[in-house]
Amino acid sequence: MPTQSTATRARRRCLPAFENLEGRALLSSNPLGPALPGKHYPAPDVAQFVPILYPPGTPQPTKAEIARESFVAKGFGTYTVGPGRFDTQALSIHGFGKPMTSNLSRRFHFQYEVTEPVNKAQAVTGVMSLVAGNFLQNSALQILDLIGPTGTEKDGLPTNLFFIPDANATQTTAFAGTGTTIPGFSNFPANYFTSSGTLAPAPGSPGSLGPPTSVDNWNMGLGIATFKYLPDRHPEAGSLGSGTVIVVLRGLLNYSGAQSQFDKGFN
């Protein structure tokens, strides 16, 4: 039987074909840029967090301060689902990805761990690490605690959680703490959330978990983290599920930037 000619094989290799495309979320926030000298692009829909972080009777932020504290980050990555590590946890979710687009950094490498409780009256909890990787933030590290009620799950995975800066973790560079906080904010975040992960009534209002203390302090913050999960057709071996996750963070971060010589434009 005659063999195919070299020309015939070459033509077949050049025939059009379909290739798989990556799933990406549309970005509605601008990257860091020169359009606002000395400032960063304000994040949308952050005014909703102002009366929660700064309830009536406490120092109120100016319009410029709200814009300075505004934070948004969007990105996608990979997630895997596994069993809970303790008998109170129904399952655990681990996700990671790079890079995130943000108004505070052109690149955020993120990683998170979220656990779903067995008792649906308890809160969904987790933690997220954001590592910035550009000249402005210079390997800055921001650690966020995640908390929220059950009830937003899709295919068993929570889709909406609140985030707050971890008060006990070591944030680095631009997000680093400024030492002793004076005056203190002993009611944050303990008096801001119920045991089920819902927001408590604002401190000082009827039904709140405690009276307000001064809230004009560095390292406070509050926002919403949303997760959209796109499961793999064939989950990763050894996991309870895997796929692509799209993460969106938006809220307020009251960091000083005083620990970063590159962050002076925001101060």
Q: Where are the domains of the chain?
A: 39-266
- Give the per-residue pLDDT at 52: 82
**Are 100 and 74 contacting, i.e. CB atoms less than 8 angstroms apart?**
yes
In this structure, is the dihedral angle defined by the CA atoms of residues 118, 97, 148 and 194, taken in order, positive or negative?
Answer: positive
- Give the per-residue pLDDT at 224: 95
pTM (2 decimals)? Answer: 0.78
CA distances, 100 to each of 18, 26, 135, 160, 247 (Å): 28, 12, 15, 18, 9
- Return per-residue pLDDT of the chain as tens, 267 residues: 555 565 565 555 556 665 555 554 444 444 444 445 556 677 778 888 888 888 777 778 888 888 888 999 999 999 999 999 999 999 999 999 988 888 887 788 999 999 999 999 999 999 999 988 764 555 678 889 999 999 999 988 999 999 988 876 666 667 766 544 444 456 667 677 888 988 877 666 666 766 555 565 677 889 999 999 999 999 999 999 999 999 999 999 887 766 666 555 554
- Give the per-residue pLDDT at 33: 40
**Are 20 and 93 contacting, i.e. CB atoms less than 8 angstroms apart?**
no
- Give the per-residue pLDDT at 90: 94
Alpha helix stretches (DSSP H) within the chain: 6-13, 50-53, 63-69
- Give the per-residue pLDDT at 193: 81
Q: Six-digit token pair at 39?
A: 């400032």
Give CA–CA dist 20/174, Å, rounded.
39
- Give the per-residue pLDDT at 201: 74
